Amino acid sequence: MADLSYDFVGIKTPNPFWLASAPPTDKEINVVRAFEAGWGGVVWKTLGEDPPVVNVSSRYGAINYNGQRMAGLNNIELITDRPLDVNLEEITRVKKNWSDRAIVVSLMVPCEEEPWMRILERVAETGADGVELNFGCPHGMSERGMGSAVGQVPEYVEMVAAWCKKHTDMSVIVKLTPNITDIRQSARAAVRGGADAVSLINTINSIVNIDLDVMAPTPTVDGKGAHGGYCGPAVKPIALNMVAEIARDPECNNIPISGIGGISDWRDAAEFMSLGCGTVQVCTAAMHHGFKIVDDMKTGLSNWMDSKGYKTIDDFRGLASQNVTDWNQLNINYETKALIDQDKCIKCGICHIACEDTSHQAITASRVNGERHYEVVDQECVGCNLCALACPVDDCITMVETDNGKPYMNWNQDPRNPHRSAAE
């Protein structure tokens, strides 16, 4: 059976599934319930300076999709609204009682060295395994010069990371905000500051819905709404790309990554790990279904690893990142064509209308002996996948590689490219 334990920058965890810094990790009672359910670790909800912040009533909004609840979740909750002493006392007790689990403490204080030094000393006394610097929250705290207001300025990221490394022996993880144009800039800054790891993504600036009756965003607080942080299954593709960008960036120097962003099951987790993540953090799925989901995550990952012959997480970690490349390295001579399995076709015509209306007019619609018939026109098919994606029947439309006998050639080598590299 696969070994799910992991040593993430010196933090030992029995499995790679952590709860992200968020409401599920705000209190001892929640964290203990999570550990009882089998979670490998938690990142305790962000601590700040006293007096604690005050939260508003009405905090979450969600995107439902075709009857599925919470495809995307948005929140306007701030960091912990409980006194620092209460949180530290609980962290100390939980770590003592659950010494085999990983406890990382999320922190957010003003962008000055002194407050960071003070809070790091206090956290160190709890026995916690590490700290995660919250440079990501896009709402509320950023208006006070913290959260994403820091994470959006690489110089600040580097500076605060360096302060933290100077003032503590605990592992330092920098949590990155996705609310920037190039995630590598802030990741490189974390590397320069000496951070042990990065975690990403934090939530994305968002307004999830407008309530058309009150004409205000949701969640609505007394008739008004503010942008919040978006998370849940809908953000996973954005997170995967940002993780991949860091994983394959030489300047990021293979910095360890804890993956976050819409992870709901073992498959999501395996995808993040295949791009290089050593641990993954979960929030929305737990907030939707409770802590029990970790059971599927652990057994699903273990069963899949067994089926592939991977004995440890490092056996497959990062295997996909080597196949993430720039567009200009893709093989221009590679060709696929759609193939419809007529025996599986249920005659919905979705492939035809998708191609006809919005793509390449490469699937004909006709009647053969009165029966609807949809057929690919190979000469017109560009191998875009749209039909195969839209088809509601599994494996009915497949993309088949055409053996055109042409060798690998990328865009930099392509004679049709007026700017191709001369050396090629």
| Catalytic (active-site) positions | 137
Longest dimension (CA), the chain: 82
Mention every residue, 6+ apart, whose C-beta is less than 8 A from residue 328.
410, 411, 412
Q: Which residue, 38 or 349, is less far from another protein as judged by CB?
A: 349
Nearer to another protein, 111 or 365 (CB): 365
Among 37, 353, 377, 384, binds another protein (CB under 8 A): 353
Is 347 a binding residue for another protein by CB under 8 A? The answer is: yes
CB 380 within 8 A of CB 419: no
- From 115-123, 185-193, 313-321, 342-350, span contacting another protein (CB under 8 A): 342-350
Contact call for residue 350 and another protein (CB under 8 A): yes
Q: Is 392 in the site for another protein (CB under 8 A)?
A: yes
Residues in binding contact with another protein, number by CB under 8 A: 13
> Which one among 51, 67, 405, 415 touches another protein, defined by CB under 8 A?
67
What are the CA-CA distances from residue 300 to residues 12, 377, 419 (Å)? 21, 41, 48
For residue 393, state whether it binds another protein (rule: CB under 8 A): yes
**Of 346, 385, 398, 406, the one binding another protein by CB under 8 A:** 346
Binding positions for another protein, 355-384, rule CB under 8 A: 365, 372
The minimum distance between CB 345 and another protein, in angstroms, equals: 9
| Min dist. Cβ of residue 376 to another protein (A) | 15
Stretch that binds another protein, among 219-227, 255-263, 321-329, 346-354 (CB under 8 A): 346-354
Phi first, then psi: what are they for 198, rounded to 5°? Answer: -120, 155
Find the shortest distance in angstroms from Cβ 356 to another protein: 8
Is 153 a binder of another protein (CB under 8 A)?
Answer: no
Residue placing its CB nearer to another protein in the complex, 3 or 375: 375
Measured from the CB atom, is 316 or 374 closer to another protein? 374
Contacts with another protein, residue ranges (CB under 8 A): 66-67, 346-350, 352-353, 365, 372, 392-393
